[in-house]
């Protein structure tokens, strides 16, 4: 694999202080129509109710925008 790490201007600890919590990535996989988006949306609501900052990247939405025309 040819992956190169790029340092960011905002450190991990600075981001954690700003957000008030550590970061994490939750990735749901499964067959089409199995409830991944539904589960992700419910988890986002719960985490927000707990005061945890979230950002939901849903594959269906990304395919319509960022990856539009990539044929997958």
Percent of the chain as helix, strand, coil, to the nearest 5 = 40, 0, 60
Are 61 and 40 in contact by the 8 Å Cβ rule? The answer is no
Structure tokens given for 43: 């988890």
Write down the pLDDT at residue 66. Answer: 66
- Stretches in the chain below the pLDDT threshold 70: 65-72
Structure tokens given for 55: 């950002």
Are 44 and 56 in contact by the 8 Å Cβ rule? The answer is yes
């Amino acid at each position: 694999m040819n992956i190169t790490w790029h340092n960011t201007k905002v450190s991990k600890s600075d981001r954690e202080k700003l957000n008030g919590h550590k970061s994490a990535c939750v990735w749901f996989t499964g067959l089409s129509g199995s409830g991944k988006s539904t589960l992700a949306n419910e988890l986002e609501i719960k985490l927000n109710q707990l005061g945890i900052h979230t950002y939901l990247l849903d594959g269906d939405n990304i395919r319509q925008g960022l990856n539009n025309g990539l044929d997958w």
